[in-house]
Structure 1
Amino acid sequence: MPVLAERFTVIAPDLRGHGDTEKPARGYDKRTMARDVIALMDRLGHRRVALIGHDLRRAPRPAGVLVLHLPRRARPSGGVDRRP
């Protein structure tokens, strides 16, 4: 991320239930997490973003849902997946 941050604004949020975020009982589906990302974009004033998804266990799903359903708000720029 530091290399990207030399040329771009880099935002790396923890999705709900991960890291220091709240851990609600529900809302871990792909669409809800994609809506969380949109809410963050709106709050930060970003109309459109280049999106890189990351998931340690499976495909970067919330990122995929966001790009698929809201192509005017996010364009796919890659994905990172680390498998054991």
Structure 2
Amino acid sequence: MFPQLPSPAFRPHVAVLLDFYIDVSLRTLQAMQKISELNLQLGRDLLADSGVNMQQLMSSKNASQFNTTLAAQMARHQPGSQLRH
């Protein structure tokens, strides 16, 4: 009564397209997962670094030592300061 969809001659092409889309979707999800893992690691590293920086600032004995520590921390975090030449 109704034509068979997809037709038998077209089925291999549909199967190849479905496999392709499934593979692309899987690789996209894997890439997103890797980006999320890297982002999470970056957040953890930033939190740890800020904790160390704050601890150094809080352990300063006087204003001069505080300013020296703060200046050193700010110099470390300037854009391009960690680039290798």
TM-score (norm 2): 0.24
Q: Name the one with the larger strand percent.
A: 1
Q: Work out which structure has the larger RCO, using CA pairs closer than 8 Å and 6 or more positions apart in sequence.
A: 1
Q: Name the one with the larger helix percent.
A: 2
Which has the greater radius of gyration?
2
TM-score (norm 1): 0.24
